[in-house]
Structure 1
Amino acid sequence: MTGFLTDSLLIANPAISDNPKFENIAGKAVYIIEHSDKGAVGVSLNQNYSKRLEELAETLPLLGNLSEDRLVTKNKVIAGGPLFMDRPWLLSRNPKRYQSTIGNDCLRLNFDQEAFQSCTPDHLPCCSIGTFGWGPRQLEQELAHSLWHHFPSTLDVLESIPFDASVVGAADLLALMKYSDPTPRKAKSRFLSW
């Protein structure tokens, strides 16, 4: 593999579900926000918390700055990964870089309170708690061992992903955030159902 996978979608190889060591990543669809020689940061997009936004805000006050009409995921909060489970974040088109921002040319991952306060529907934001992270060359090694399938996050590729409903929902969410016109918000019905 050459180059880095920033702005890509990784889908856990379904075959790894038989190995208890990898049980926590089986079925995950992870958007890679940033990938360099220092490692990678990504967020899973295909599993929601069972609690609604308001319930989670009782223990994570930062979420109290949001209202469901601002989010493409409405009242759903995504379970983004096993790291930093106490830190909510927003993934959005917001071009501003705050003090706690990780981003690429398309989307930004913001942990900053100001990002939550200034969140608007035209940023097409989704909210989550937790992330995925890899150290230097760790992601490359996992790909070499076939733990993940790599998909460029182009519209054609995202619309043709042939996995199960939750992975298709994650691909739809990413396509919606990257490619839709935020003025009349057009969400795909298959995304809204998961």
Structure 2
Amino acid sequence: MSFKTSSLRDQFLISMPHMHDAHFEHTVTYICDHSEYGAMGIVINRPLDLRLDALLKHLDTDDGLQVKDNRQIYAGGPVQEERGFVLHRAQDSPWLATYQVSDEICLTTSIDILEAIAAGKSTPDALIALGYAGWGAGQLEREISDNAWLSCPATLDILFKLPAEQRLQAAASTLGINLDLLTAQAGHA
């Protein structure tokens, strides 16, 4: 018997405290796409020891670019860690490669947005990540049924305004959950 699962697109995935996968332990992931073919998301609370100026230098971008916004780069997940992704508020500026996740959030993979952010000509509400999290068909659903993840609606404040170290608990709090009090063990009366 098969059933249709609802999409987790534009949701946060919260790793359960008992998850011991080095890539996802203590993470919150923004889901950009989810269908019967699989899911794709960006981990939003793993800052790297890398800033935008160093990334642009590595990419050999415009040497004359003056970096006014030298923001933190994040580890977006274990897949294609050399590829850049920018989660940002939807806006009028047309970037070369943008996917609209929701009415409020887009995912862009072209370098033009990185240059605009660095120059201070783009939305301050943007998160730059290297790599992404990916799941094959049915894999994420199995992991959720195995109690590896919780999900909740994504909020712009958690995504863009909170410091990285506060995002996991803030996402869990939207469900009324304190992750420090959860256990993988079932209780018995």
| Contact 1:101–1:109 under 8 Å retained in 2 | yes
Provide the residue aligned with 1:111 in structure 2: 109
Q: For residues 77 and 61 of structure 2, what CA distance do their matches in structure 1 show?
A: 18
Provide the residue aligned with 2:33 in structure 1: 34
Equivalences for residues 1-194 of structure 1 within 5 A: 2-17=5-20, 22-61=21-60, 67-69=67-69, 75-95=71-91, 98=95, 100-105=97-102, 106-119=104-117, 120-122=121-123, 124-154=125-155, 166=164, 168-169=166-167
> What number of residue pairs does the alignment pair up?
159
In structure 2, the CA distance between the partners of 1:101 and 1:4, relative to structure 1 (3 Å rule), is same
| Contact 2:15–2:27 under 8 Å retained in 1 | yes
Q: CA deviation at 1:32?
A: 0.4
Comparing both chains, which one has the higher relative contact order based on Cα–Cα distances under 8 Å and sequence gaps of 6 or more?
2
Q: For residues 82 and 99 of structure 1, what CA distance do their matches in structure 2 show?
A: 24
Q: CA deviation at 1:124?
A: 1.7
Unaligned runs of 5+ in 2: 172-189
More strand by share: 2
Q: For residues 131 and 111 of structure 1, what CA distance do their matches in structure 2 show?
A: 12
Q: For residues 107 and 155 of structure 2, what CA distance do their matches in structure 1 show?
A: 19
Which segment drifts farther, 37-46 or 115-124?
115-124
| Contact 1:63–1:88 under 8 Å retained in 2 | no
Provide the secondary structure at the position in 1 that maps to 2:113: helix
More helix by share: 1
Provide the secondary structure at the position in 1 that maps to 2:58: coil
The root-mean-square deviation of aligned C-alpha atoms, in Å, is 3.2
Q: For residues 156 and 110 of structure 2, what CA distance do their matches in structure 1 show?
A: 29
Q: CA deviation at 1:62?
A: 5.5
Q: CA deviation at 1:57?
A: 2.8
Q: CA deviation at 1:113?
A: 2.6
Give the greater-gyration-radius structure (CA): 2
Task: Give, as a single letter, the amino acid of the residue that structure 1 aligns with 2:142.
Answer: Q
Q: For residues 67 and 169 of structure 2, what CA distance do their matches in structure 1 show?
A: 24
